[in-house]
């Protein structure tokens, strides 16, 4: 398995991966829009490939205060192989290299399997109220 930064040639494979693994994401998370918006800001977009096939991806962000992980996704057939853990660790190391000391992420409260995955990587649940607003 190889983990690396996203390249333009990965675009269609990444769109397909996110549509496959995150099929119920809201319209504002449409992969082609997200990719373009992310690359307009920075290049903290990482992919995992195995035998020439894109099998996972992770997007990271850093605002100078704390880092974030977004859209961590691994194809079902590549799960439980270390792909997700390697992606998260790679993204966290990339954030550390630019000065980040704390990484946050959000998952759906009902996604207990993914919560256990992140706990195994050292993440802990923090009592916070997550809020958001769409800008009109």
Q: Where are the domains of the chain?
A: 2-120
pLDDT in tens, the chain (136 residues): 999 999 999 999 999 999 999 988 888 899 999 999 999 999 999 999 999 999 999 999 999 999 999 999 999 999 999 999 999 999 999 999 999 999 999 998 888 899 999 999 999 999 888 899 999 8
Ramachandran region of residue 13, left (φ > 0), alpha (ψ -120 to 50) or beta? Answer: alpha
In sequence order, the β-bridge partners of residue 41 are: none
Assign 3-state DSSP to the chain and report helix, strand, coil percentages, each to 5.
40, 25, 35
**Residue 1's CB: how many other CB atoms inside 10 A?**
14
Query: What would the two tokens of residue 32 be?
Result: 């082609």
d(CA 75, CA 120): 19
β-sheet with 67-74: strand ranges across: 2-5, 45-50, 53-62, 67-74, 103-105
pLDDT of residue 24: 85
Query: What would the two tokens of residue 108 be?
Result: 């759906």
Q: What's the whole-model pTM score?
A: 0.92
pLDDT of residue 85: 97
Task: Give, in order, the Cα–Cα distances in Å from 56 to each of 73, 78, 88.
Answer: 5, 8, 10
pLDDT of residue 128: 87
> What class does CATH assign to 2-120?
alpha beta
In sequence order, the β-bridge partners of residue 69 are: 60, 105
């Amino acid at each position: 398995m190889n983990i690396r930064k996203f390249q333009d040639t990965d675009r269609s494979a990444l769109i397909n991966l996110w549509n496959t693994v995150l099929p119920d994401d809201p319209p504002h998370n449409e992969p082609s829009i997200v990719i373009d918006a992310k690359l307009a800001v920075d290049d903290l977009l990482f992919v995992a490939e195995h035998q020439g096939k894109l099998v996972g991806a992770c997007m990271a962000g850093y605002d100078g205060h704390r880092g974030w992980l977004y859209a961590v996704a691994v194809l079902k057939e590549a799960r439980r192989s270390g792909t997700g853990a390697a992606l998260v660790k790679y993204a966290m190391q990339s954030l550390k290299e630019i000065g980040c000391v704390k990484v946050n992420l959000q998952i759906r409260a009902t996604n207990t399997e993914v919560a256990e995955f992140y706990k195994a990587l050292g993440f802990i649940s923090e009592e916070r109220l997550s809020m958001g607003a769409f800008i009109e």
